[in-house]
Structure 1
């Protein structure tokens, strides 16, 4: 009725878990992970400044969803993404590291700022205003998210000042 284990035989469940982890690790190296079904709600709302920003939470979420960050640069961890927000292809997701004075979450969209602005208005109803008169103007929404030029692409992000650590009030 029950399989009999000897004191030296390993339990089966941990071995199956190890095999599954090894299989997933190999699969992750071979192909980029697709975005989870919660990506639009969790990352999309944070990037538009419609939700809380906690860089530790987002780092864990992105690591679980896409694997480890492929680089750490400019005060941020960079994750490759196979995702879509507001009908636009997302190539990268960034989250602030602890060296940054701000806590932020952002995405790199494979489209121009003009087109991502239109897509966000159509999908989320959030409007952006140009806040400077430069050749490459920064756009800002009333909740505080920004759209900026990033080479031939766009960055959409929400940045907040870090809260004081507990006990420093």
Structure 2
């Protein structure tokens, strides 16, 4: 498949289950698996920035539009999977709770919301939010250690 510059591919039918569960920390975050999944379905990352591979996509999840997905690089201290979604944090929080029953609560940082399973929801630029699951990498493996966002 040849992808034109700026072209965004639609997500596969497995996307809501595979990506959705991982973003909410309901499933294992395996960066090797997710990099292959994203590359197979969305081509190569359009950028590598902030210790992450970034993929442009055009899909909906939890009632919000996802425009980008990011996964940690191999050299990152953390294992993470995240998405940039259109819509303010409060709106996405309500939609996720209605659709999944998972609630987000204010973390120590006033702008950061965290769910009991460990996912984060933060404001990102104007009218967008980031949702992500992050775990500290220990000896090449991930664990459920908490990471404070500052």
Query: In structure 1, what is the equivalent of residue 28 of structure 2?
Result: 52
| Aligned Cα root-mean-square deviation (Å) | 1.4
Pairing partner for 1:35 from 8, 11, 14: 11
Query: In structure 2, what is the equivalent of residue 18 of structure 1?
Result: none
Which structure features the higher share of helix residues? Answer: 1
SS at match of 2:11: coil
**How many Å separate the matches in 2 of 1:121 and 1:78?**
26
Query: In structure 1, what is the equivalent of residue 116 of structure 2?
Result: 142
Which structure features the higher share of strand residues? Answer: 2
Query: In structure 2, what is the equivalent of residue 121 of structure 1?
Result: 97
Shift of 1:132: 3.3
Runs of 4+ in structure 1 over 3 Å off: none
1:28-107 aligned within 5 A: 28-29=3-4, 31-107=7-83
Give me the TM-score of the superposition, normalised by structure 2: 0.88
Show structure 1 runs of 5+ residues with no match.
1-23
Aligned CA distance change for structure 1 residues 98 and 120 (closer, same or farther; 3 Å): same
Shift of 1:164: 2.1
**How many Å separate the matches in 2 of 1:50 and 1:112?**
23
Per-residue deviation, residues 106-159 of structure 1 (Å, max 9, x unmatched):
01001111011011001111000011363xx10000000000111121000000
Query: In structure 2, what is the equivalent of residue 160 of structure 1?
Result: 135
Give me the TM-score of the superposition, normalised by structure 1: 0.78
Query: In structure 2, what is the equivalent of residue 17 of structure 1?
Result: none
**How many Å separate the matches in 1 of 2:100 and 2:11?**
19
Shift of 1:99: 2.4
Aligned CA distance change for structure 1 residues 133 and 74 (closer, same or farther; 3 Å): closer
Number of residue pairs matched? 139
